[in-house]
Structure 1
Amino acid sequence: MTTSTTQKHTYIEIFGKKTELYFAILCGFFLLTGFLIERLIEIPEVIYKTAYLISYLFGGYFVTIEAVKKIGKGGFDIDFLMIAAALGAMYIGSWAEGALLLFLFSLGHALEHYAMHKAKKSIEALGNLSPTTALVKRNGTLHEIPVGELKIKDVIIIKPNTKISADGVVITGTTSVNQAPITGESIPVDKTEILNTKRLPKFSAIDKKHTVFAGTINGDHSIEVLVLKLSKDSTVARLIKMVSEVETQKSPTQRLTKKFEKWYVPIVLIVVFLLCFSYVVIDETFEESLYRAITVLVAASPCALAISTPSAVLSGIARAAQKGVLIKGGKALEDLGAIKAIAFDKTGTLTEGKPTLKNTIPLNNFDELTFVQLVLEVESLSNHPLAKAIAKDLKQHYQIEVTDKASNVKAIQGKGITATYENDKVCIGNVALMESEAIQITTSVIETMENLLQKGETVMLVAYQQKIIGLISVMDVPRKTAKSTMKRLQEVGIKFMIMLTGDHQNVGDAIAQQIGLSEARGNLLPEAKVVEIKKLLKNHKKVAMVGDGVNDAPAMALSTVSVAMGAAGSDVALEVADVALMSDKIENLPFVFGLSTASKKIIKQNIWISLGMVLFLVPITILGLTNIGVAVLLHEGSTIVVVLNALRLLRYEME
């Protein structure tokens, strides 16, 4: 079977996209007609031979075109072998066998192209999701324009239950959006308007509750969206571009098969040519030697081998895309299945990526509610992300609100903040802040701090009226699904999992222990992560690196396979990673590794089926132990089996 399955054909498609399939069916129809006439009706042989000839024309049309293309480029491939075998069968009088060969071969061709088309179509269907027009608001009036004419900072109106026409940020209204086509998320995601559109950060840095993607589907409420990306730069457009480049990234098995085929076909032609002259050395006629040679030609053609890997690779990539995972080519798909060690970034990968309040501990008999109210009043005045997280969690946990009793907040770089609360000074920060304010820290307070630090928490002391009244601690907590994900990864064959983080070693150890990692390495700068990846490669040969594709780019580039989290909308993540999880769901990782393992298994099965059939048929045909009809059925039957086996990946589910 030809491996050039993704090339555009130059012939006229009489019946549209299904012309090849219809030609194969017509080939079979005239083959059956000729066979029945030959066996059941006593009429001149020219009648049934005409039926066979028509069968040859339909069955050999596409194959001949492919063979001529290759010969024009100075090469012989499997298509040429099939045409030669069919013409040889006709020459020796085995018209039915030659027509059967072309029927099964053309049917295999059609199935192969169907498999490739189905796999690629399920990925490229993303492109069909994007609407062709957008409703844009300009100068207070609405205009319907082609999406290609949208400009950055245009405001578009998205009506209920319609497709979103551009990547952007919600500026008016709230809704829920079906993001399944981009991220694979099965549940619609709530979206709210962003309050301040001045000095917006990069699209990928905006809180995901405000951003929407082209091609996703709006819920029951109308919204206004500020366009932040042109249609050619949208997430959908980038995905389609990458899908179109998938075929250029051949898997190791594909490259090996291609090399094998390059040398194998000429060798088969030489052997078959020599077998035509077997009658010179053994007692048989020239016709018998020619029959043997043509039968060997059929048996030795590696049709199933040529399609065994590409059909499985594209089916695997298509299945991943259905789950919101972009795998960039066969190499990444195959490599994933061989990996036994994974390195993870911490922040935003294994953790939520935002601080969460863990402890509020009043000391020296200070009332708890008074303590947390004081902290809330002071922290709510600060714009620091840590302060915002503390204030938010205090409101939620204690059901309290700000009463504006604090004032004069001042940030002390590297130490914390100070403020005035009911005419007395408040200090919230680290030991260095307390020392600079001449506030005494007792041994018991230090011990309490150390206990929390050992758990990986960030601790802040709270002082009021020149004495410690308590402490608070925050922590970037593990994702809720992190622990179960690590367990599933072990079940699919991952032996070693390590965290590489720039945070303190205690923080890394605490997270690793909670979610079940093998090890954690802390205090690592990006360059140090590269060094750690080199060590892992030395010890484990192949390593995957999972991160956000930004700070971890050097380490990800060095790893065998790089996996980017939450890559939807992130240019850097999509460019750097071999595998991109379009949603921010780490729980998709086991599926990806399981799919890769299943793909490798099917590729191996296909290779054994195809090579096994060749190794079985060639000796028995050389020895004359079978006829050309049986050889055709077994040989082309194996090709169809290989294609159908590969298509099983389109329905892959984790056990």
Structure 2
Amino acid sequence: MFEQAERSEVDMTSYRVQGFSCANCAGKFEKNVKKLSGVHDAKVNFGASKIEVYGNTTIEELEKAGAFENLKVTQDKPLREEKQEVKEEKEPFYKKHSTLLYASLLIVFGYISQFVNGEENIITSLLFAAAIVIGGYSLFKVGFQNLLHFEFDMKTLMTVAIIGAAIIGEWAEGAIVVILFAISESLERFSMDRARQSIRSLMDIAPKEALVRRNGQEMMIHVDDIAVGDIMIVKPGQKLAMDGVVVNGYSAVNQAAITGESVPVEKTVDDEVFAGTLNEEGMLEVKVTKLVEDTTISKIIHLVEEAQGERAPSQAFVDKFAKYYTPIIMIIAGLVAVVPPLLFGGSWGTWVYQGLAVLVVGCPCALVISTPISIVSAIGNAAKKGVLIKGGIYLEEMGALKAIAFDKTGTLTKGIPVVTDFKVINNQGNAKEMLSIITALEYRSQHPLASAIMKKAEEENIPYDVIVDDFSSITGKGIKGTINGTTYYIGNPKLFENLSVDFNNEQEQLVKSLQNQGKTVMVVGTEKEMLAVIAVADEVRESSKEIIQKLHQLGIKKTIMLTGDNKGTANAIGGHVGVTDIQAELLPQDKLEFIKQLRSKYGNVAMVGDGVNDAPALAASTVGIAMGGAGTDTALETADVALMGDDLRKLPFSVKLSRKALTIIKQNITFALAIKFIALLLVVPGWLTLWIAILSDMGATLLVALNGLRLMRVEEDKY
């Protein structure tokens, strides 16, 4: 708590860092920055290659703190600008890896010399020694510093192993270890960059310029110079550069980049549109509503980068394990080198060599990269499919879900009431005339269901601009008003009981039948008789039934619908979609209490809601999942997971991806440790060589990285 309070009082500056080769290096950089004068705290985000610094410092001081790895630090800028700079600064391959190429060439000459002049030749030894110095210079620089400060990481292990190899005359193997370690580090860096690219590619989605109309003139303007209120003109086939609201035009807009929806969405006046989406058909004039740094795409990129920095439970385990693992490996290596010659008369040369091989095989590269590469790949893939997962911890917890609770309105249903039934009793009057009277009365009402009736009238082109006298609302029961001398009442059946209007059996059955279907029934009549019945319901999403089935197939034991609606409506909708449990007539605090009960029974529980009304229940669940994050800042900020396209079909994909991520993380950790263990067993018969040691480490790193990158290829099931 104290640390959080202290942080909030200090200025925070975010910087981008280029050159991280491994998670250990990122951790060391963080430690070094924390020691700088004026810095109160620092937090490295290895997944996004960023550092947040709390306090005052300069870029020069930060680069000095990262000098051990030649880190380049720049002020965090709008991501599209930073992407451009990175593109411009890209070095040719041969320049980027020149030291590695020179060292490799020296090794080749060394082996030629060995073949021509023999192994003991001074030229041969010098060639291998030069390869060690050139190829391992940056490694030794850090390794020696670590030894002086008694810091033990993979570079310390490698430095000791290579120096030891040189001392016992294994020049060739020492040189090969240097080269293979450098290749392993490059592969690790390449794999992480590839995983980061899965989200960085989002930066290219939105254009950097837009056609804007100002003072009657049309001009191309850079997005940084576009102001809120500007009118942006978007032609067919162009991408939108900014978020806004359509003020003129009609078109179909492909929103896949933001929401993951594969089908273009119709947009007309007053509809919201997002930066990075593609205008497919008509010309649109859009009033800009957000600055470039506040657009939905910018928020998504920012939140995903933050998510990549959040440490998952498995990552915390690996970090803690690696902290103790490296010193233990050094102790084991020392014992292997010393114990057999001292106690059992073994050859010093043989067992010192074996000890050095243990140091190399103990290098924890594969273990350290096993979790972050999986998390970055999965979160990046989810973002591209329209699912925003706010951290590795939620990714893991989604994979372990046992129960999922759903809010009804706006989640399993569309949240928009529609007229489902309209019946005039005993043919009393014209149906169109009756609907016109009902709509005229409802137009003056504040009732939430009035909009459904007005929409029905507009769809059927029925005018409702008739004069209504003596209009009044009957609290909790309905409304009344006089049209052409007749007083009409619209309300629930209880209103007509109070008016002493008798319903015959057929009329009672009609009302009960509609209510049992989960519909809200409104009776229309006078003080003497029932004239019509109109039923309104919140439409169930077409996909809800399939989604619940899919979740059950995935092994989710319990699916629960939570609603404040009456039991009849709840049972009708819950039964239709196929949830295992229905809880009706709940207040917000009841939902919260029910989620707590579910957590105590099942452990990992998700709550799916709209991110506003269900905030307490979303917060109390293990994973809070908000619908429709693209248009809702609240959902983006408060939920653990946001389904950007208001599309429940993304939910099974999210669970599947999370489970796959959990499996791959476990596979990676198990494999990284198993390959070390098997290589260490080779010490017993004396078969472990430096070659086998470094190849086992490099092979493990490569396989773990490739396995983690598979998460970028997980696809949605088609419905």
TM-score (ref. length: structure 2): 0.82
Residue type matched to 1:451 in 2?
A: S
- SS of residue matched to 1:281: helix
2:164 paired residue number: 88
1:612 paired residue number: 674
Question: 1:22 matched to which residue of 2?
Answer: 97
1:261 aligns with 2:322: yes
> Which residue identity is paired with 1:388?
S
Instruction: Please give the alpha-carbon distance, in whole angstroms, between the structure 2 residues aligned to 1:432 and 1:27.
Output: 91
3-state DSSP class of the match of 1:276?
Answer: helix
Structure 2 residue identity aligned to 1:262 = K
User: Counterparts of 2:273 and 2:714 in 1: how far apart (Å)?
Assistant: 29
Q: What letter corresponds to residue 357 of structure 1 in structure 2?
A: V
* 1:119 CA displacement: 2.0
**Residues 475-624 of structure 1 correspond to what in structure 2 (within 5 A)?**
475-624=537-686
Alignment partners' CA distance in 1, 2:329 and 2:470: 85
Alpha-carbon distance in structure 2 between the residues aligned to 1:638 and 1:287: 28
| 8 A Cα contact 1:309 1:606, kept in partner | yes
The answer to whether 1:167 aligns with 2:230 is no
Deviation at 1:107, TM superposition (A): 2.3
Distance in structure 1 (CA, Å) of the matches to 2:348 and 2:251: 80
- Aligned positions of 1:431-446 closer than 5 A: 431-435=493-497, 437=499, 439-442=501-504, 444-446=506-508
Amino acid in the other structure paired with 2:653: F
Partner of 2:164, secondary structure, is helix
1:270 corresponds in structure 2 to 331
1:443-454 pair list within 5 angstroms: 444-454=506-516
1: distance between equivalents of 2:568 and 2:186? 59
8 Å Cα contact 2:274-2:296 kept in structure 1: yes
Counterpart residue number, 2:289 = 228
Superposed, 1:629-644 pairs within 5 Å as 629-644=691-706
CA contact (8 A) 2:304 2:383 kept: no
Amino acid at match of 1:231: V
> Which range moves more in the overlay, 114-123 or 434-443?
434-443
Query: For the structure 1 residues 19 and 327, does the alpha-carbon distance in structure 2 shift closer, same or farther, using more than 3 Å as the test?
Result: farther
CA distance in 2, matches of 1:575, 1:100: 50
Count of residue pairs brought into register by the alignment: 638
Once the two structures are superposed, residues 504-562 of structure 1 have per-residue CA deviations (whole angstroms, 9 ceiling, x without a partner) of: 22222211111110111112222111101100000001101111111111111111111
| Residues 31-42 of structure 1: pairs in structure 2 closer than 5 A | 33-34=108-109, 36-38=111-113, 40-42=115-117
Structure 1 residue aligned with 2:450? 387
The residue correspondences of 1:361-440 to structure 2 (distance < 5 A) are 361-366=423-428, 369-370=431-432, 373-374=435-436, 377-378=439-440, 381-382=443-444, 384=446, 385-393=448-456, 396=459, 399=460, 401-402=462-463, 404=465, 407-408=468-469, 410=471, 412=473, 413-421=475-483, 423-435=485-497, 437=499, 439-440=501-502
Runs of 4 or more consecutive aligned structure 1 residues displaced over 6 Å after TM superposition = 12-15, 68-74
Deviations 1:445-494 (A, max 9, x none): 34432332222111100115741022111111211011111111122221
Q: Deviations over 1:140-168 (max 9, x none)?
A: 33454443343333333333333323221
Distance 1:17 1:129, change over 3 A: farther
| Structure-to-structure mapping, 1:48-87, within 5 angstroms | 48-57=124-133, 59-61=135-137, 63-64=139-140, 67=143, 75-87=151-163
CA distance in 1, matches of 2:421, 2:261: 33
Counterparts of 1:131-170 in structure 2 under 5 Å? 131-170=207-246
Partner residue in 1 for 2:202: 126
Shift of 1:259: 0.5
Deviation at 1:111, TM superposition (A): 2.1
Larger relative contact order (CA 8 Å, sep ≥ 6): 1
- Alpha carbon RMSD of aligned pairs, Å? 2.9
Cα distance change on mapping 1:539 and 1:352 into 2, 3 Å? same
Q: Is the 8 A contact 1:179 1:188 kept in 2?
A: yes
Residue equivalent to 1:212: 273
* Consecutive unaligned residues in structure 2, runs of 5 or more: 1-20, 27-45, 51-65, 73-88
- The one-letter code sitting in structure 2 at the alignment partner of 1:312 is S
Partner-residue secondary structure (3-state), 2:682:
helix
CA separation of 1:489 and 1:268: change in aligned 2, threshold 3 A: same
CA distance in 1, matches of 2:428, 2:94: 83
- Identity of paired residues, percent? 37
The verdict on how the C-alpha distance between 1:436 and 1:45 changes in structure 2, with shifts beyond 3 A counting, is: farther
Deviation at 1:54, TM superposition (A): 4.9
In 1: Cα distance, 2:560 partner to 2:374 partner: 31
Shift of 1:94: 2.5
Amino acid in structure 2 at the alignment position of 1:3:
A
User: Structure 1 residues 540 and 488 mapped into 2: Cα distance closer, same or farther (>3 Å)?
Assistant: same
Return the alpha-carbon distance in structure 1 between the equivalents of residues 138 and 627 of structure 2. 44
TM (normalized to structure 1)? 0.89
Do structure 1's residue 241 and structure 2's residue 261 form an aligned pair?
no
Q: Which moved more, 1:555-564 or 1:6-15?
A: 6-15
Deviation of 1:222 after TM superposition, in Å, equals 2.5
Q: Deviations over 1:586-640 (max 9, x none)?
A: 0011000000111111111111111111111213225423322222222321121
Long gaps (5+) in structure 1? 195-209
Structure 1 partner of 2:56? none
State the secondary structure of the residue aligned to 1:532.
helix
* Cα distance in 1, alignment partners of residues 219 and 471 from structure 2: 49
Q: 1:175 to 1:272 in 2, by over 3 A?
A: same
